[in-house]
Structure 1
């Protein structure tokens, strides 16, 4: 193992020497930032009715001012900043790095609110790697240095990003404005990504099989052979240098069989979560505020494709957020979920890169209102997971029978899986008879629009084949088994669960008291009033007000509920003049959860 590692290191050094001998030296980042030669000055437009924003600079520590001072002076000398007088102003926040140096950060949230939104055409990091085939085994990763600074900002737009600065040397206060596309502006990634993509269209790769992927300013070369990877890397570096871009030599990973790209560890035919990313998340202490918990969930959400049952694991954590309190009140379930999520993250498996030349298999089921799925492809006698899918059902679907919730889950999982399959055939394994449930019972719960949508996804697509099986766990699915025919009868289960109570009669009981119920809701002088009453033909048994937001229909139901509560242990008939109480019983019965799906 040690000898193999030494050979790999020696090979990397030799490849690095070959590349450096052939590359234009100006491509490597230095103190002087690049300038994209074909880029026109970027114009920023305000939203209709947008007004200048003025956010005062908050106090800064002396050490922070002294730390960021040399950076600002250097930017002024390089023409990245200039002095100005502007009716805009937003604060800066010097950020200290682990090595003791500083980063200049500007709080542009106020500017982002008043400037026009651009549709983000940035690649989806989840599906970007679907373009890589298993035959591509050599990789190079290039990171552009200070990428946004390569694009000039139109003179008329520069004052929008002004900030206040007091020189630590002279004590002179002034306003400074960016002459280049600033970091922190909401549209900067989209604007830069489009410009770089436009420039890369004119790059002609050398002969050999390979792929070039771009995510904003991060580039990945993937080729079949080591020699091709060297040639492509040299060609792309020279192209970028001549176009005015600069590449970080420190961050470059050139001609390797395993690289870190977008936080993923990419190798031949598979991707895993980078160890640094996993450790950073798992070292996060238990959040104490809603903001801290949202940050933690945002970090884990990036890794959700690697975590089976992710939606179930985070459900107790999202319940903490919905309580409405700023400071979190941790429950046993939430604490358990927090620890389980970290454990699942550290044991996250490697996922196969989607191979769109081979068919896919999708295992789909629903649990606690969450659509869960595993997208996989055959690897020898087994199946290798490509992605673990997890998404909540909407509020309406959560109230459906279990078999119909399974239909909704399949529709959601198929839509998510198509982001990876790109039209390749997909066999979907489910434990419910999808078409029969949809056709026979869908009309009772689904709107016409939703019914047609599900029908189009499940029935009318050539790339989807539904297979009903008794497989109910991911281990059996990934073992390659197709399972046995399912014995669960969806239609029978729904019929038994949601039929009206057999003991409910539409004729009065003999030798029983007869009670009458009613509820009403009306508006007087702009204020709604609601109430209910339970009576006999001679006296009022009980009456009372209801909350002001109660509708007339709900008031009638509340009256009936109260009558049933008062009649406990008695023999009585409850009636009202409008409608039939049997409808209410039919609606309430499913709350007993009789279905076994």
Structure 2
């Protein structure tokens, strides 16, 4: 009911999850205007707020497992501590729960797909469940990667930059915000290629990496000038293609304001590493599924990262 009440304000300064309402804006005037509108709608619908549960103009906000401060968003320390305390799973069910917990924060971990590859391959029922040194190292790497994980949430101003790369089996990208000559990561992505896609020539894989990255980062980049760096020089002329998949993708991407720039492999080595040997994908639906898994785990008394 609460979500329906603020449907037209959703992602426009008002975020709602169940009975948690988060209001944000660039200026105090906007905050007060949105707050007034929210209170009006609550009053009109007969809903009440408990004052002791409200917080106004805080320097730090805890929301959906995240700690939000000025210019920064990070996993809540208590969630990270709970994940760090997890013991090695004894079976596929336990592994699935552990990956569900850690996977909720996968956008904070560069190369998450490759890091967890030794773990995800245990999910295949065609192979026996055997926890070894490789799995333990991956398990520890995920825990370590979350300890100091943080991303930029101050991307309203500054230049948006996307760096993409494709390997034989995956595509990857990083969205950053550039201010005063410094680039700060906003979000990471990586996606495995299908059996058909792995047979595409390098030119098409590199073009596809741009397509996937822009679809993933659409909410950030639509309507804003964005620089896309790729290590495949031929893609500088991507929008001049007259036929084939690259031409169709170029048509699809006409809605974006892009500047595609070539960088050599050494200049984007950090992105190149993201795509190597990646074996799984992340979508908005994946993240929502992880949230649902955590909610169900709490209801059923399963191990989870919530209090």
- After TM superposition, the score normalised by the length of structure 2 is 0.73
- Residue 352 (str. 1) matches residue 153 (str. 2): yes
The answer for the alignment partner of 2:251 in structure 1 is 456
Q: 1:256-300, CA deviations, whole angstroms, 9 ceiling, x for partnerless residues?
A: 121112222222233222212222222222112222222222222
Aligned partners of 1:221 and 1:232 also within 8 Å = yes
* Closer, same or farther: CA 472–436 of 1 in aligned 2, 3 Å: same
Q: 2:5 aligns with which of 178, 192, 196?
A: 196
Matched, 1:466 2:268: no
Measure how far apart 1:236 and its partner are.
4.2
Question: Which residue matches 2:196?
Answer: 396
- Confirm or deny that 1:432 pairs with 2:232: yes
Which residue does 1:322 correspond to in 2?
A: 124
Change in Cα spacing, 1:320 to 1:476, as seen in structure 2 (3 Å) is closer
> Residue 361 of structure 1: CA displacement?
0.8
Q: Distance in 2 between matches of 1:239 and 1:455?
A: 43
Q: How does 1:145-544 map to 2 (within 5 A)?
A: 192-197=1-6, 211-223=13-25, 236-237=38-39, 240-241=42-43, 243-249=45-51, 251-324=53-126, 328-355=129-156, 358-367=158-167, 369-435=169-235, 450-457=245-252, 460=254, 462-472=256-266
Return 5+ residue gaps in structure 1 as ranges: 1-191, 202-209, 444-448, 478-597
Structure 1 residue 322: Cα displacement: 1.2
| CA distance in 2 between partners of 1:268 and 1:331 (Å) | 42
Secondary structure, aligned partner of 1:334? helix
2:238–2:247: 8 Å Cα contact kept in structure 1?
no
User: Secondary structure at the residue paired with 2:49?
Assistant: coil
Query: TM-score of the superposition, structure 1-length normalised?
Result: 0.40
Name the SS of the counterpart of 1:253 in structure 2: coil
State whether residues 404 and 442 of structure 1, in contact with CA within 8 Å, keep that contact through their aligned partners in structure 2. Answer: no
Q: Secondary structure at the match of 1:219?
A: strand
Say if 1:374 and 1:388, in contact at 8 Å, map to a contact too: yes
Query: Where does structure 2 lack aligned partners over 5 or more consecutive residues?
Result: 272-307
8 Å contact 2:223–2:256 — kept in the other structure? no
The answer for the alignment partner of 2:296 in structure 1 is: none
Residue 255 of structure 1 aligns to a residue whose secondary structure is: coil
Deviations for 1:140-189, whole angstroms, at most 9, x for unmatched residues?
xxxxxxxxxxxxxxxxxxxxxxxxxxxxxxxxxxxxxxxxxxxxxxxxxx
- Which one scores higher on RCO, CA 8 angstroms, separation ≥ 6? 2
For residues 544-569 of structure 1, the C-alpha deviation after alignment (integer angstroms, 9 at most, x for no partner) is xxxxxxxxxxxxxxxxxxxxxxxxxx
Residues 322 and 249 (structure 1), Cα distance of their counterparts in 2 relative to 1, 3 Å cut: farther
* CA distance 1:262–1:397, change in 2 (3 Å): same
Contact 1:221/1:229 (CA < 8 Å) preserved in 2?
A: yes
How many residue pairs are counted as aligned between the two chains?
270
- Aligned-partner Cα distance in 2 for 1:455–1:240: 45
The structure where helix makes up a greater share of residues is 2
- Does structure 2 conserve the Cα–Cα contact (< 8 Å) formed by 1:360 and 1:376? yes
Quick one: distance in 1 between partners of 2:100 and 2:242? Answer: 35
Q: 1:437 to 1:369 in 2, by over 3 A?
A: farther
The 1-side partners of 2:93 and 2:15 are apart by 34
Counterpart CA distance in 2 for 1:345 and 1:376 is 19
Structure 1 residue 309: Cα displacement: 0.8
CA shift, 1:222, in A, is 2.3
CA distance in 2, matches of 1:455, 1:200: 32
- CA distance in 1 between partners of 2:32 and 2:65 (Å): 23
Q: Which has the larger radius of gyration?
A: 1
